[in-house]
Amino acid sequence: MAKTTFLEKLITRIERLDHKHVENYLVQLAQEKGLLESIFNSMLEGIVVTNRAQKIIFINHAAQEFLDAKDIEMEGQDLTRYLESLELEELAALIKTDWGKLIHRDIQMIHPIPRILHLNVFPLVSSGNAYLGLVLILTDVTKRKEEELDQMRSEKLQTVSLMASCIAHEIGNPLNSIDIHLQLLERDVHKLPTSSSKNLLESLKIVKSEIRRLDHTVRSFLVTARPIRPNLQGSDIAKILEETLRFMKEELVLNKITLKKSFLEKIAKVSVDEFQMKQAFSNIIKNAIEAMPHGGILKVLLTQDDEKVKIIFEDNGEGIPKEILPKIFEPYFTTKTSGSGLGLMISYRIVKDHGGKIDVTSRFGKGTTVSILLPMGMKRKMKLLPEQGGKNNEL
Ligand code: ADP
Ligand code: MG
């Protein structure tokens, strides 16, 4: 038989209890509720409980932070309406129609902080199996997802690099040898009488030009796909950015794009390969231009904290639909008729080779933000962490 709870015992005895006892029990209950609340509030997972009418009856601190809400605002509110206001209409509809089912979904939050949350929804059922409401548990999985994505991108990059080395070897080398033999053939053909050499020379010319075209294609593929160790030098990032923007000025003007720069003064020097960094920046700027075919605003921001320099490119162009956002760094992924699908992959590889991080957030129809974080020099290899209190910290 099921164990009777404190509350059930209290209910069966309540008529027999005197005023003092009831008061004691109520104090005990209030304390237990307080204890439960503080346990829920100290959890890293967000917890939201609703009643049968899907009105929020409890929301812990973590969930308030995830959903950017205060409990005073949220308690008593309709959960599904609240989710709609967070542009999670699909989820709100799912909860409304499928409330009896378990729901496990990842949700991408853009506001207040871009992050990925994993959501579990359970029906809240009484011991008598009556439906009481819903319990939503939200877990921040941003870091795990980023690591998974990073791992996947690195693996893909490795495959492309391997392919590039293979192509260099298997196509590049025979091309060289064909070229040498063509030159030998040409020399011999020249020795023939003009009447017989004329047609042969014409054909040789065509073969040579086709070989040159093939050679060019292979070379340009190698330049983009083969990793090149960055030639790191203490550089002024603001200057590199300025030069890249100057180089692209014509294109910006032609496309009616207003440039808004905001560079923090006195940015520390960063160890970068100037040429590669310009390549990474210009790929990103090019994408921004292409995303604003009718003109727009491109903001370029440069800031730093004591460990890294941050460069942000923000456009108000067409944005990226969320289904394709995870694919944009993939080699050869493009949504453009004449795109190569290599620009972002190259920028990603360059930033990674510099020990940095590149992030893209976007809202379809609103615009896209690409941020690059670059570590600053070697000076801060070691950092003293703040004291943690307690005696047994020394490990
Ligand atoms: P490409 O520009 O040749 O298509 P990229 O690797 O540079 O290749 O970009 C991949 C895809 O990412 C683009 O086709 C586009 O769909 C998307 N993309 C990248 N940057 C932006 C941006 N700023 N705005 C909108 N979409 C973008
Ligand atoms: Mg591009």
The predicted-structure confidence for 161-180, as pLDDT tens digits, reads as follows 778 777 777 888 888 889 89
User: Phi and psi (nearest 5°) for 144?
Assistant: -60, -45
335 lines ligand 1 (CB under 6 A): yes
Cβ atoms 33, 108 nearer than 8 A: no
The letter for the amino acid at 356 is G
Q: Does 117 or 93 have the greater pLDDT score?
A: 117
Residue 379 has pLDDT above 70, yes or no: no
Residue 393 has pLDDT above 50, yes or no: no
Host H or E run for residue 74 = helix 71-74
CA 186/CA 35 separation, integer angstroms: 92
Q: For the chain, give every residue range classified as CATH 3.30.450.20.
A: 43-140
* CATH 3.30.450.20 matches 43-140: yes
Indicate which residue's Cα is closest to atom 18 of ligand 1: 287
Q: Does 307 or 289 have the greater pLDDT score?
A: 289
Indicate which residue's Cα is closest to atom 16 of ligand 1: 335
321 lines ligand 1 (CB under 6 A): no
Residue 242 has pLDDT above 90, yes or no: yes
Structure confidence at residue 108 as a pLDDT band (50, 70, 90): confident
Q: Does 316 or 12 have the greater pLDDT score?
A: 316
Residue 383 has pLDDT above 70, yes or no: no
Q: Report pLDDT for 72.
A: 60
Distance 280 CA to ligand 2 centre (A): 10
333 lines ligand 1 (CB under 6 A): yes
Q: Report pLDDT for 385.
A: 63
Q: What's the whole-number mean pLDDT along residues 49-73?
A: 83
Question: Which segment, 92-96, 164-168, 270-274, is predicted with the most confidence on average?
Answer: 270-274
Please state whether the peptide bond connecting residue 112 to the residue before it is cis, i.e. omega within 30 degrees of 0: yes
According to DSSP, the β-strands at 296-304 and 308-315 are antiparallel
367 lines ligand 1 (CB under 6 A): no
* Closest ligand 1 atom to Cα of 341: 8
Considering every ligand atom shown, identify the ligand nearest to the alpha carbon of residue 292 and give its number.
Answer: 1
Three-state DSSP at 213 gives: helix
340 lines ligand 1 (CB under 6 A): yes
Distance 276 CA to ligand 1 centre (A): 19
Distances from the Cα of 229 to the Cαs of 272, 276, 352, 356, in angstroms? 11, 10, 11, 14
Q: Which CATH architecture has domain 233-375?
A: 2-Layer Sandwich (3.30)
CA 171/CA 193 separation, integer angstroms: 35
Indicate which residue's Cα is closest to atom 21 of ligand 1: 287
How many whole angstroms from its chain centre is CA 51? 35
343 lines ligand 1 (CB under 6 A): yes
Residue 118 has pLDDT above 70, yes or no: yes
Q: Report pLDDT for 284.
A: 97
Residue 312 has pLDDT above 90, yes or no: yes
Question: Which segment, 56-60, 147-151, 237-241, is predicted with the most confidence on average?
Answer: 237-241
CA 268/CA 271 separation, integer angstroms: 10
320 lines ligand 1 (CB under 6 A): yes
CA 75/CA 58 separation, integer angstroms: 6
Q: What's the whole-number mean pLDDT along residues 52-62?
A: 88
User: Phi and psi (nearest 5°) for 261?
Assistant: -105, 140
Q: What's the whole-number mean pLDDT along residues 77-99?
A: 75
Question: Which segment, 110-124, 156-170, 287-301, is predicted with the most confidence on average?
Answer: 287-301
User: Phi and psi (nearest 5°) for 364?
Assistant: -60, 125
Give me the count of residues in the chain. 395
* Closest ligand 1 atom to Cα of 340: 3
* CATH 1.10.10 matches 145-225: no
Structure confidence at residue 388 as a pLDDT band (50, 70, 90): low
Considering every ligand atom shown, identify the ligand nearest to the alpha carbon of residue 332 and give its number.
Answer: 1
Q: Report pLDDT for 382.
A: 52
287 lines ligand 1 (CB under 6 A): yes
Q: Report pLDDT for 391.
A: 43
Considering every ligand atom shown, identify the ligand nearest to the alpha carbon of residue 346 and give its number.
Answer: 1
Q: For the chain, give every residue range classified as CATH 1.10.287.
A: 145-225
288 lines ligand 1 (CB under 6 A): yes
Q: What's the whole-number mean pLDDT along residues 119-123?
A: 87
CA 317/CA 311 separation, integer angstroms: 19
Distance 339 CA to ligand 2 centre (A): 7
Which pTM value belongs to this model?
Answer: 0.62
The letter for the amino acid at 87 is E
Place of tokens 């990925």: 116
Q: For the chain, give every residue range classified as CATH 3.30.565.10.
A: 233-375
366 lines ligand 1 (CB under 6 A): no
Question: Where does the chain show beta strands of DSSP type E?
Answer: 46-50, 56-59, 103-109, 115-125, 131-140, 233-235, 257-263, 270-272, 296-304, 308-315, 357-363, 367-375
Q: Report pLDDT for 384.
A: 59
Among the residue ranges 65-69, 72-76, 172-176, 241-245, the one predicted with the least confidence is 72-76
Say what the alpha-carbon torsion angle 91, 92, 93, 99 is, to the nearest 10 degrees: 90
Q: Give the model confidence (pLDDT) of 185-194 as tens digits.
A: 999 999 988 8
Q: What's the whole-number mean pLDDT along residues 8-15?
A: 75
Q: Does 7 or 244 have the greater pLDDT score?
A: 244
The tokens for 48 are: 């939201």
Cβ atoms 127, 113 nearer than 8 A: no
Cβ atoms 364, 321 nearer than 8 A: yes
Indicate which residue's Cα is closest to atom 13 of ligand 1: 334
Which of 220, 289, 334, 366 to mutate to test ligand 1, by most ligand atoms within 8 A of the CB atom?
Answer: 334
- Gyration radius of the chain over CA positions: 32
Distance 228 CA to ligand 2 centre (A): 20
